[in-house]
Structure 1
Amino acid sequence: MGKRKLVIKRLETLKERHAKFSKRKKGILNKAKEFSVICDIDLALVMFSPSDKPVTYFAHDKDLGYFVEKMEKTSARDLEERRESTNKLLKKIFQKNVEAEVDVRSFSADGDDTVKVQEAQLEEMKNRLDERRKALEDFKNPRNVQDLNQIKSMKEHLITSLERIQKKKNRLLGKYQMERVINASSGPGAVNLAHGTFGDKN
């Protein structure tokens, strides 16, 4: 018996899509981590489950802001060129994948719609990058901000950042306190709790 060919198409029921997403998510996240480590690259992976819940992975303990800043430094022309290059690569992979039953003619027929969707997504990304750039400028000069909504957004961002800092602080503090306890219990003047005796007893 030969290998069963994989049909690339949308699963009909939400339950099937959830099951497939849950099964493949771990593999994709694992591959992303391996890829970032082996090639020593910055890598950001963002997915949304069938129920629209976000799943993210940022390599080397970076955060979303780091990748947004890197994207901001890339021109719109370069982003467009990379998008076109990626689309060509994906199409080439689909065409050469003998294990998948992909209707190339249908793929080409739907190409225009796909390009329109991707253009809309690219435009949305540009708008978000513009908003992020403006937000960074506002943080540098908060006195110049006159928009109440922008001030609220800045406040929410600061609160989120402070919460992350507090969690990091608590983890480090807990680790520090644990190390002190361990060092104290292993020192020359330590209490031997098991036998009820004290160290350095002459």
Structure 2
Amino acid sequence: MGRGRVQLKRIENKISRQVTFSKRRTGLLKKAHEISVLCDADVALIVFSTKGKLFEYATHSSMETILERYERYSYAEKLLTAPETETQASWTLESSKLKAKIEVLEKNIRHYDGEDLEQLNLRELQNVEQQLETALKRIRTKKNQLMHESISELHKKERALQERNNSLSKKLKENEKTSEQQIPMLHLPQHPPQPYPCSVPSFANTSGPFIGAAMREEESVQVQPVSTTMMPLWMIRHINQ
């Protein structure tokens, strides 16, 4: 005897309803996957249970991409079919579109924080993991770039300080050398000025009443003998006369 056609109505038994939901949900996800592979179509499937639990399926392109594509095409189609006077309807549609984007972004944020991961299948978990790895690579690349720039700036400052230190050392050595050259000149001995040598004329051949006084004066004054060669020429002529 063949299987009879099941009447489509709500199953009153809670346990039977839950079992039927699990079986039909698995079959529905399987059919969605088959049609996406056989027909090369983008398929997005969203199911909410009676308890509000989310079950979803998407092809290789993510669920967000398919939803944005759907909203874009449906919005454009409604704008073409709707009259120009229905501006309120267009604003309502735009509002619902923005709300859907906000819900998708909030869900992604929860997934990135490690929350609500029980609802994701293996492919979706791999997608989240890949996105996190890509974000970590970008963060590490930016961090390494900032570190290299900081190290390069420190090297430049080090070279500038080294050049300044060398310049100051050079100036200090030049100042020390100049000081050493000036110190011997300050300590040179200062000799007192020597008296100009002169010769005293002899009064031996002088005649007159002043011979004795001149001789006594010559004996009382001690004069160092000076060679006649040290006398000026005019004095020698005067004595010879």
Higher relative contact order (CA 8 A, sep 6+): 1
Q: TM-score, normalised by structure 1?
A: 0.43
Q: TM-score, normalised by structure 2?
A: 0.37
